[in-house]
Amino acid sequence: MKIQSFVVGAFQENCYLVADEAAGRAVLVDPGDEGEPLVAAVRAAGLTLDAIWLTHAHLDHIGGIAEVKRAFDVPVYLHPDDLPVYQFAPQVAARYGLPFELGPLPDHALHEGDVVSVGSLQFSVWHMPGHAPGHVVFHGNGVVLGGDVLFAGSVGRTDLPLCDGVVFQRTLARMTTLPPDTVVLSGHGPATTIAAEVEQNPFLTGLARPLRR
């Protein structure tokens, strides 16, 4: 397995290119902006792109989809509970004054308990709502592609439309049930591990609580 990360867009979002190099297959997780360099990276790596997997549909995680889909006609995977978030993204972008092109509607519905694969690599899908209603994480192969649930030293916001702070607490608790040495590849900021966050993250040690609406 090889995972490359790219920091894209105004919100400095992490897009991940996850590849089974032996098989020559890859997926893009959360192509949030700057679709052209992401397309170039896939081509430069000589990989066949199989799909776009979305942890959730906030605008900073989906803004590169239109460009990537023009280059590679691959299906977009999203939990259906995030469809309203996806469709509302252009209005949110307008409010921020950001250029934004909405990609085609997602093609494939993700659900709790699904197993998704790229080449021979398999990842389990957990529905982890709270930051967004259809937020999922993909875990397997020693990593969790965790979107905006858990960051190094912080957690996802729960004060945005369609957030739920109570549900988010359950999601956070579930995140800590992953093996301690699991590498957390977050939607923003550096990689961390479950063990490091359980030990030091103020939102997990009980020193801080997520914002509620």
Closest distance of CB 64 from Zn ion, Å: 13
Token duo for residue 130: 């709270």
CA 118 to chain centre: 16
Token duo for residue 207: 């020193």
Asked whether position 35 contacts Zn ion by CB under 5 A, the answer is no
Q: Are strands 183-186 and 154-155 parallel, antiparallel or unpaired?
A: unpaired
Binding mask 116-155 for Zn ion (x = CB under 5 A): --------------------------------x-------
**Region of 122-130, 172-180, 181-189, 193-201 interacting with Zn ion (CB under 5 A):** 181-189
- CA 74/CA 60 separation, integer angstroms: 20
| Cβ count within 10 A of residue 196 | 16
Nearer to Zn ion, 187 or 210 (CB): 187
Nearer to Zn ion, 69 or 131 (CB): 131
What Cα–Cα distance (Å) separates residue 98 from each residue in 10, 45, 59, 95, 132? 8, 30, 10, 8, 21
Nearer to Zn ion, 119 or 187 (CB): 187
Which of 51, 52, 58, 118 is the binder for Zn ion (CB under 5 A)?
58
Nearer to Zn ion, 58 or 139 (CB): 58
Asked whether position 33 contacts Zn ion by CB under 5 A, the answer is no
Closest distance of CB 157 from Zn ion, Å: 7
Which of 155, 187, 203, 210 is the binder for Zn ion (CB under 5 A)?
187
Nearer to Zn ion, 161 or 180 (CB): 161
Which residues in 131-141 are b (16+ Cβ under 10 Å) and which e? bbbbbbbbbbe
Give phi and psi for 188, each to the nearest 5. -145, 145
**Residue that has been written with the tokens 């999203």 in this structure:** 78
For Zn ion, the binding residues (CB under 5 A) are 58, 60, 148, 187
